Protein backbone atom coordinates (compact mmCIF):
# COMPACT_ATOMS: atom_id res chain seq x y z
CA UNK A 1 0.00 0.00 0.00
CA UNK A 2 1.41 3.38 -1.01
CA UNK A 3 1.88 5.96 1.71
CA UNK A 4 -0.15 9.14 1.37
CA UNK A 5 2.02 12.15 0.38
CA UNK A 6 0.85 14.09 3.43
CA UNK A 7 2.49 11.41 5.63
CA UNK A 8 5.84 11.56 3.81
CA UNK A 9 8.64 13.20 5.80
CA UNK A 10 10.05 15.86 3.49
CA UNK A 11 13.44 15.57 5.16
CA UNK A 12 13.94 12.19 3.49
CA UNK A 13 15.60 12.78 0.13
CA UNK A 14 17.53 9.57 -0.60
CA UNK A 15 20.02 9.78 2.27
CA UNK A 16 19.71 6.02 2.78
CA UNK A 17 22.03 5.59 -0.22
CA UNK A 18 24.97 6.93 1.77
CA UNK A 19 23.92 6.95 5.45
CA UNK A 20 22.24 3.57 6.09
CA UNK A 21 24.17 1.50 8.60
CA UNK A 22 26.89 4.13 9.03
CA UNK A 23 28.73 4.76 12.28
CA UNK A 24 27.85 8.21 13.62
CA UNK A 25 29.77 9.96 16.40
CA UNK A 26 28.49 12.80 18.57
CA UNK A 27 31.05 15.60 18.65
CA UNK A 28 31.62 19.33 18.55
CA UNK A 29 31.68 20.86 15.10
CA UNK A 30 35.01 22.33 13.96
CA UNK A 31 35.23 24.58 10.91
CA UNK A 32 37.22 22.99 8.12
CA UNK A 33 39.92 24.55 6.01
CA UNK A 34 37.71 24.62 2.94
CA UNK A 35 35.83 27.23 0.95
CA UNK A 36 32.96 27.13 3.44
CA UNK A 37 32.86 27.80 7.16
CA UNK A 38 29.87 25.58 7.84
CA UNK A 39 27.99 22.36 7.06
CA UNK A 40 24.30 21.49 7.07
CA UNK A 41 22.30 18.69 8.63
CA UNK A 42 21.80 16.04 5.95
CA UNK A 43 18.06 16.01 6.68
CA UNK A 44 16.73 19.39 7.84
CA UNK A 45 19.54 21.66 6.57
CA UNK A 46 20.12 23.19 10.01
CA UNK A 47 23.51 24.90 9.88
CA UNK A 48 26.60 23.75 11.83
CA UNK A 49 29.43 26.21 12.43
CA UNK A 50 32.11 26.88 14.99
CA UNK A 51 32.23 30.61 14.30
CA UNK A 52 28.96 31.79 12.70
CA UNK A 53 26.20 33.01 15.05
CA UNK A 54 22.97 31.07 15.63
CA UNK A 55 24.37 27.78 14.38
CA UNK A 56 24.60 24.34 15.91
CA UNK A 57 27.93 23.73 17.63
CA UNK A 58 27.67 19.93 17.95
CA UNK A 59 25.87 16.98 16.42
CA UNK A 60 26.35 13.55 14.93
CA UNK A 61 28.83 13.01 12.12
CA UNK A 62 30.27 10.22 10.05
CA UNK A 63 33.79 9.11 10.98
CA UNK A 64 35.24 11.29 8.20
CA UNK A 65 33.33 14.41 9.44
CA UNK A 66 31.75 14.71 5.99
CA UNK A 67 28.04 14.16 6.76
CA UNK A 68 26.47 15.93 9.73
CA UNK A 69 23.12 15.17 11.41
CA UNK A 70 21.48 17.35 14.06
CA UNK A 71 20.30 15.78 17.34
CA UNK A 72 16.60 16.01 16.39
CA UNK A 73 17.07 14.27 13.04
CA UNK A 74 19.38 11.70 14.62
CA UNK A 75 16.67 10.86 17.14
CA UNK A 76 13.99 10.74 14.44
CA UNK A 77 15.90 8.49 12.03
CA UNK A 78 18.41 6.44 14.09
CA UNK A 79 16.29 3.29 14.06
CA UNK A 80 15.20 3.38 10.43
CA UNK A 81 18.78 4.10 9.26
CA UNK A 82 20.30 1.53 11.65
CA UNK A 83 23.05 3.89 12.78
CA UNK A 84 25.83 2.57 14.95
CA UNK A 85 27.49 4.61 17.70
Residue 36 has pLDDT above 90, yes or no: no
**CB of 42 within 8 A of CB of 16?**
no
User: Structure pTM?
Assistant: 0.87
pLDDT digits (tens, 9 = 90+) for 47-60: 999 999 999 999 99
Rounded-to-integer distance, Cα 75 and Cα 30, Å: 22
Could you tell me if residue 3 is left (phi over 0), alpha (psi between -120 and 50 degrees) or otherwise beta? beta
Amino acid sequence: MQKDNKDKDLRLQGQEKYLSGEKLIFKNYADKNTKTDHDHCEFCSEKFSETLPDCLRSGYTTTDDYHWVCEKCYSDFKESFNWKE
